[in-house]
């Protein structure tokens, strides 16, 4: 399912490119900001010819544009510096894409990193992210993960009573308390997919706000817990500014309550959730507008409450990296169902991008080696997996294609690699980082050997395995 221009006005990939970069804010663009038409009528990103990248690295292939990612980081960082008089810190929500290269890039731009597991923590630390800029989330942290967080000296965002009790037990008589934030559900709903709404009361994330007093009282009595902040998050892929306008006032009221229990809260984390433009119909606010809304309202709420400005944190993920990446596929077989539809298949699908089958997400695609050809047919782009629902884009408008053409799907930087799988025993794709004409491998393509690396075959089964 994708919104595209009418076939009465065929649109080539070339004319699409002319309109695709609609804003200086990366989250409002349909393509990476370095995208252009290159030689031989081919799509170019980061100064690299996309069909050539596919020939060199294979497909499916994640192509991450370093310039777009860095630009989004700087826009967040600079907007907070412009609109907020207090201290601020932008954290990359690494669940969107956790790997060494991505963590290293955002850290080099002065951002911290939000992690939600021991694996994401391990990745960020090995990428060189400073512990004081790491925050651990999660609604069911294991004892081992909390141990790792304490030993690394990072901030833990407590999501529930179990977190608090385990932390107290683990800390014992350690001389230095663990740095702690408390996550509460703010009771603010927004228009997004129900699976990614996290701010309403009926959510698995965070303490219920009715437990605020009990939680603050407990924390105030634990010398091993240094509660420095409060956290809230209202959802993901949000196009409305009003929920983010309402959130600071709610959090300032919590901050006042914390003071009454002598809990030294000096940080407020407003989460993330700003959406990106996947198709022409999407119209998200810019990064600048989102930050200004948060900063203006928080400053006003603190002024009305006669409170000093807290350190202000946020946790963008999708809006930092979503538009920065595309996925390149090779087109394979075609099937025509007379009077119904035409299918073209690609060499990936739900294993490298589970969002369409999970969230009914929509995307925009072009044929990278036929950019000037007009869109002459409506086709459904299907993946190669043994699931009828494995459809990348339904009713996409494309030029006539042939097997071997390079199809590029835009906006795949967020939650594609992170949620990828080996369904049907497909190896996960490679990823390359492109910048100024240079392409660097940041994720190797998995091999068949990788698929068997964790397999164990009991000896008693070996003799029963048929021999050729």
Q: Which positions are catalytic? A: 386
In sequence order, which residues have a C-beta less than 8 Å from that of residue 277 and are 6 or more positions away?
A: 22, 27, 28, 29, 30, 283, 284, 323, 411
Asked if 311 contacts 87 with a C-beta cutoff of 8 angstroms, the reply is: yes
Rounded to whole angstroms, the Cα distance separating 367 from 370 reads 5
Return the SS3 of 83.
helix
Distance from chain centroid for Cα 344: 28
CA distance linking residue 110 with residue 107, whole number of Å: 5
Q: Which residues contact 135 (CB under 8 A, 6 or more apart)?
A: 91, 112, 113, 114, 115, 154, 155, 156, 157, 181, 269, 313, 315
User: % helix / strand / coil in the chain, to the nearest 5?
Assistant: 35, 20, 45
The span from the CA of 227 to the CA of 237, in Å, is: 30
Question: Residue 150 has which token pair?
Answer: 């304490």
Number of CB atoms found within 10 A of residue 222's CB: 17
């Amino acid at each position: 399912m994708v919104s595209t221009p009418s076939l009465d006005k065929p649109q080539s990939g070339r004319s699409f490119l002319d309109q695709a970069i609609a804003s200086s804010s990366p989250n409002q663009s349909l393509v990476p900001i370095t995208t252009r038409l290159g030689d031989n009528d081919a799509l170019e990103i980061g100064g690299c010819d996309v069909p050539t990248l596919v020939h060199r690295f294979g497909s499916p292939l994640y192509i991450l544009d370093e310039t777009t990612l860095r630009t989004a980081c700087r826009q967040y960082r600079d907007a907070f510096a412009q609109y907020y008089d207090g201290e601020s810190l932008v954290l990359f929500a690494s669940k969107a894409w956790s790997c060494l290269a991505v963590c290293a890039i955002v850290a080099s731009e002065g951002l911290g990193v939000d992690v939600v597991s021991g694996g994401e923590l391990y990745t960020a630390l090995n990428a060189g992210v400073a512990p004081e800029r790491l925050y651990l989330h999660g609604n069911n942290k294991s004892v081992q993960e909390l141990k790792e967080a304490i030993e690394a000296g990072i901030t833990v965002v407590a999501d529930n009573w179990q977190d608090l009790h385990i932390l107290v037990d683990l800390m014992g008589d350690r001389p230095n308390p663990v740095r702690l934030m408390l996550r509460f559900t703010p009771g603010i709903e927004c228009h997004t997919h129900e699976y990614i709404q996290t701010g309403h009361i009926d959510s698995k994330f965070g303490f219920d706000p009715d437990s605020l007093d009990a939680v603050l009282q407990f924390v105030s009595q634990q010398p091993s817990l240094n509660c420095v902040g409060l956290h809230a998050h209202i959802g993901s892929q949000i196009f409305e500014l009003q929920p983010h306008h309402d959130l600071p006032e709610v959090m300032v009221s919590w901050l006042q309550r914390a003071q009454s229990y002598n809990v030294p809260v000096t940080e407020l984390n407003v989460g993330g959730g700003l959406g990106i433009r996947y198709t022409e119909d999407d119209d998200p606010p810019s990064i600048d507008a989102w930050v200004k809304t948060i900063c203006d309202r928080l400053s006003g709420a603190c002024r009305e409450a006669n409170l000093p400005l807290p350190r202000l944190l946020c946790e963008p993920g999708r809006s930092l990296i979503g538009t920065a990446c595309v996925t390149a596929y090779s087109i394979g077989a075609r099937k025509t169902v007379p009077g119904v539809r035409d299918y073209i298949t690609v060499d990936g699908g739900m294993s490298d991008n589970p969002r369409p089958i999970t969230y009914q997400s929509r995307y925009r695609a072009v044929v990278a080696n036929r950019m000037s050809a007009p869109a002459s047919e409506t086709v459904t782009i299907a993946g190669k997996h043994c699931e009828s629902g494995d459809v990348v884009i339904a009713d996409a408008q494309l030029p006539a294609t042939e097997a071997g053409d390079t199809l590029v799907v835009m906006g795949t930087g967020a939650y594609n690699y992170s949620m990828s799988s080996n369904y049907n025993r497909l190896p996960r794709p490679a990823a390359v980082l492109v910048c100024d004409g240079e392409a660097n491998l940041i994720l190797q393509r998995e091999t068949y050997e990788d698929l068997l690396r964790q397999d164990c075959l009991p000896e008693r089964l070996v003799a029963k395995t048929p021999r050729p």
